[in-house]
Chains A and B, each alone.
Chain A
Amino acid sequence: MIKFENVEKWFGSHQVLAGVSGEVNRGEVTVVLGPSGSGKSTLIRTITRLEPIQRGRIFVGDVDVASREVNINRLRQRIGFVFQAYNLFPHLTALGNITLGLERLRRIPRTEAKERGVRELARVGLADKADALPAKLSGGQRQRVAIARALALDPEIMLFDEPTSALDPEKVGGVLHVMKALAKSGMTMIVVTHEIGFAREVADTVWFMDGGKIAESGAPRIVLNTPEHPRLKRFLARGGDH
């Protein structure tokens, strides 16, 4: 479903991705772990060309992401993206955040879009917050609205960029709960996170990134219980790097 082939990326003279190869199959959950600066966020941002790459290839299905012929907006509509900082539109209500895409991209009439939006909010447990502006919501609620916003467009893939890192510890559970339910429903997901417990419980595959490469990968019970890479051992001993 998603395939990286020797992906390289530089920020100026600093190489953030140093030849990443890997594949995510349909319906699988891949959790990307790694210390800060290991390139894990950059990696998932390349999938929808939020970050361009300089070398290598990325495929989503049979679409070559970097190709000039690709209608990037159409590709992005197939892939939901959840940001660490939520990035809700602050001038729109929770519902407005969701219906914007439905109206502008799916051309769904307003009343229908609103019904759909309320259903999506109910799915993340926030049906009663439809008319609230993001400023009136807690961090955890905002992130769940952001997830609902992405899900409303019926994506085939969901990408999560440290979705719980900006949250107070007691708010993390609600967001993880939504993500677990999503994984169970068969969604193809790549999750960049520090939540090792989430990886253990939900991931089909774990990628440990270090220095712009996938240093170790495999099933979570193997990678997390019997790590080989010394950096991964240290990483796990510290309980994840923040």
Chain B
Amino acid sequence: MMFQILQDNWLLFLIGQYPHGPIGGLAMTLFMAVLGLSLSFPLAIVLALARLSPYRWLRLPATAIVHVVRGLPLIMFIFWVYFVAPLVIGRPVGGVETLVITLVIYEASYLSEIIRAGIQGLPKGQVEAAKALGLGYFPTTFRVVLPQALYNMLPSMVSQFVSTIKETSLGYVISANELTFAAAQVNNQLMTQPFEVYGLLALTYFALCFTLTSVARLLERRIAAERGSGLSIAAVPA
């Protein structure tokens, strides 16, 4: 039965109604996840640096933003953006745009915590060596600290990407044309096979996310091995 459904509807699952209608399905899911996460990335770096700043006027607002966003469910943000954004900009905002905007705000907070952990996890000697050379804040941050912190945090970022993929399924509630939405369309058409349709949906998500978490694990092992070979030696104060 599942095979039959897949055979009849795989194109819808994959790319939605494209080219006869809007692009959707898995393609849209991936598109939104990638776009959401990449747009949130620079924002996340700014938030992380602000949270670690010695200046209160930078640190406090950034900390507040991160805590507020992390303390609220994603669906609430989706509703806020969906219903409030049109009032602000004076025109309706589509489901896909809404979801991407929401993801940028939401993921920026989570990513910033990952980046902050990466920065704080670096041996103290790295910043000290940069200081001792006479490098200022920006070259130290962008040439010494971030390249290492971001690289070390790659596995966590891939995990965050997995979360993002799963979160795009909430786009269903605002009719963002993504994978879950496609499954619902199929289900509405067939009417009688929800178990098979949603089973297929689950399998698709799982295959994608499991592959990615495996990549994350692989990366983690590789980075740990590189570190183990003496990339960073703990300073022994005398």
**CB of B144 within 8 A of chain A?**
yes
Interface centre among A88, A90, A153 (most CB of B within 10 A): A90
Q: Is the CB of B238 within 8 A of A192?
A: yes
Closest residue of B by beta carbon distance from A80: B132
**CB of B207 within 8 A of chain A?**
no
The answer to whether residues A101 and B135 also contact, given A87-B128, A91-B151 and a CB cut-off of 8 A, is: yes
Encode A18-52 as 1/0 by CB contact (under 8 A) with B.
00000000000000000011001100000010100
Report chain B residues within 8 Å CB of A161. 238
**CB of B230 within 8 A of chain A?**
yes
Report chain A residues within 8 Å CB of B136. 73
Determine which of B123, B148, B226, B233 lies in contact with A166 in the assembled complex, contact meaning CB atoms within 8 Å. B233
Report chain A residues within 8 Å CB of B131. 48, 50, 76
Interface centre among A40, A74, A85 (most CB of B within 10 A): A85
Known contacts A84-B235, A85-B235, A135-B231, then 6 further A-B pairs from the complex at CB < 8 Å, ordered by chain A residue: A37-B238, A50-B132, A73-B135, A85-B125, A87-B235, A105-B134
Report chain A residues within 8 Å CB of B130. 89
Q: Is the CB of A101 within 8 A of B237?
A: no
In the complex, what distance in Å separates the CA atom of A173 from the CA atom of B126? 26
Encode A71-87 as 1/0 by CB contact (under 8 A) with B.
00111110011011111
Q: Could you write out 29 A-B pairs with CB less than 8 Å apart?
A: A36-B238, A48-B132, A50-B131, A77-B133, A80-B132, A83-B132, A83-B235, A85-B233, A85-B236, A86-B233, A87-B123, A87-B125, A87-B126, A87-B128, A87-B235, A89-B148, A90-B148, A90-B231, A91-B147, A101-B135, A105-B134, A135-B226, A135-B231, A149-B133, A150-B132, A161-B238, A165-B236, A165-B238, A192-B238
Binding site for B on A (CB under 8 A): 36-37, 40-41, 48, 50, 73-77, 80-81, 83-91, 100-101, 104-105, 134-135, 146, 149-150, 153, 161-162, 165-166, 192
Determine which of B128, B232, B234, B235 lies in contact with A90 in the assembled complex, contact meaning CB atoms within 8 Å. B232
Q: Is the CB of B129 within 8 A of A153?
A: no
Closest residue of B by beta carbon distance from A101: B133
CB distance from A176 to the nearest CB of B (A): 17
Report chain B residues within 8 Å CB of A81. 129, 132
Report chain A residues within 8 Å CB of B129. 81, 83, 87-89, 146
Q: Is the CB of B238 within 8 A of A162?
A: yes
CB distance from A60 to the nearest CB of B (A): 13
**CB of B42 within 8 A of chain A?**
no
In the complex, what distance in Å separates the CA atom of A152 from the CA atom of B166? 51
CB distance from B74 to the nearest CB of A (A): 34
Determine which of A41, A85, A153, A162 lies in contact with B234 in the assembled complex, contact meaning CB atoms within 8 Å. A85
